[in-house]
Amino acid sequence: MRETPLERGFRALLYLSVGVGLVTLLVLTITVIGDGLPFLDWTLISSPTSFNPDIAGARTAILATLWLMGIVIVLAVPIGVGTAIYLEEYADRSRLRNRLIELNIQNLAAVPSIVYGILGLGFIVNGAGLGRITLAGGLILTLLVLPTVIIASREAIRAVPNSIRYGAFALGATQWQMIRTQVLPAATPGIATGSILGLSRAIGESAPLLMLGVILTASKDPDPFSRFIALPVQIYRWTIDPSDKFHGLAAASIVVLLVLLLSMNTVAIIIRNRSHRTW
């Protein structure tokens, strides 16, 4: 079949759109790797952050980001999946209360991350008196990714056909037995994929964590109850420093962050493809 000029033009437009995205990504990646390459060495991974660019590394930032990831996984996944189970399996959608909860969660997913930072500063850091510690940062990021985890988990739970639910009920399963033995196992790949994608958004966030302030030198590794500087925040600090060496360190740290993000997304894609299922 021959394409009309209009169709050809449209196809060209689509290729152009894809091209813009790909070229931008490629240029950015190449530039960053080029700038960061001289600094991509063991010192970057093993040295704590410092005012002196010759001895500064991203070790403290990487560890802080890993702590944040751990806190977010431990808190956001159970709370998010629990909320999704409630909304999909238990909530009576004809009640105003439940419809309001749904609407709110959808809106929360669109709230700019800096707002979570302000909220966290007010309620978690100062309100609850937790201080500017890693745990507070983790709690803020948990709030940030919860809507994403809830929405992804709901989609995964909704994709389990009702015939499976009725089949379990008809064999004398209680609602919780049905959910635990049928719905959750069938929805796990979708929940895992959604959670990982939510998490990878969280670890790339710098705006809400900037609200907690940063530490610029560290003599010891961060823990949940110490002050911290997360990787994206560290990168931000280094890029606004006048020293070229810090710019190189920032570029190298971006490569580390990219590797972290890409490997998480790869895991998500592998889980999704492995579990492809037709009912």
Partner 1 sequence: MVTQNPTDHPAGIRLPETSVSPAEEAASPLVFDVTDLTVSYGGTPAVRATALPIEEHRVTAFIGPSGCGKSTLIRCFNRMNDLVPGALVEGRILYHGDDLYGSEVDPVEVRKRIGMVFQKPNPFPKSIYDNVAFGPRILGLTDGLDERVEKAIRRAALWDEVKDRLKSSALTMSGGQQQRLCIARCLAVEPDVLLMDEPASALDPIATARIEELMSELKTRYTIIIVTHNMQQAARVADRTAFFSVDVAEDGSRCGRLVEFDRTNVIFTNPREKRTEDYVTGRFG
Three-class SS state of 186: helix
Listed ranges 25-33, 80-88, 170-178, 241-249: which one lies at the site for partner 1 (CB under 8 A) = 170-178
Q: 19, 82, 122, 167: which one contacts partner 1 (CB under 8 A)?
A: 167
- Judged on CB neighbours under 10 Å (0-12, 13-18, 19+), 55 is exposed
The distance of closest approach from Cβ of residue 77 to partner 1 in the complex, given in angstroms and rounded to an integer, is: 22
Nearer to partner 1, 78 or 161 (CB): 161
The distance of closest approach from Cβ of residue 94 to partner 1 in the complex, given in angstroms and rounded to an integer, is: 7
Q: Is 42 in the site for partner 1 (CB under 8 A)?
A: no
| Matching residue, tokens 């290729």 | 15
Q: Is 171 in the site for partner 1 (CB under 8 A)?
A: yes
Q: Is 182 in the site for partner 1 (CB under 8 A)?
A: yes
Strand ranges in 32-171 using DSSP code E only, listed in sequence order: none
Q: 84, 121, 136, 168: which one contacts partner 1 (CB under 8 A)?
A: 168
* Secondary structure letter of residue 88 according to DSSP: I
Binders in 67-106 for partner 1, by CB under 8 A: 92, 94
Listed ranges 71-79, 108-116, 161-169, 206-214: which one lies at the site for partner 1 (CB under 8 A) = 161-169
Nearer to partner 1, 29 or 175 (CB): 175
CB 160 within 8 Å of CB 182: yes
User: Within 10 A of 71 (CB to CB), how many other CB atoms are there?
Assistant: 21
Q: Is 166 in the site for partner 1 (CB under 8 A)?
A: yes
The distance of closest approach from Cβ of residue 253 to partner 1 in the complex, given in angstroms and rounded to an integer, is: 43
Q: DSSP for 212-248, please give it.
A: T---S--SS---TTS----HHHHHHHHHTSS-HHHHH
Query: For residue 81, what are its two tokens?
Result: 């999946």
C-alpha–C-alpha distance, residues 5 and 7, integer Å: 5
The distance of closest approach from Cβ of residue 225 to partner 1 in the complex, given in angstroms and rounded to an integer, is: 44
Q: What angle do CA 252, 65, 117 make, to 5 degrees?
A: 110
Footprint of partner 1 (CB under 8 A): 92, 94, 161, 163-164, 166-174, 177, 181-182, 186, 277-279
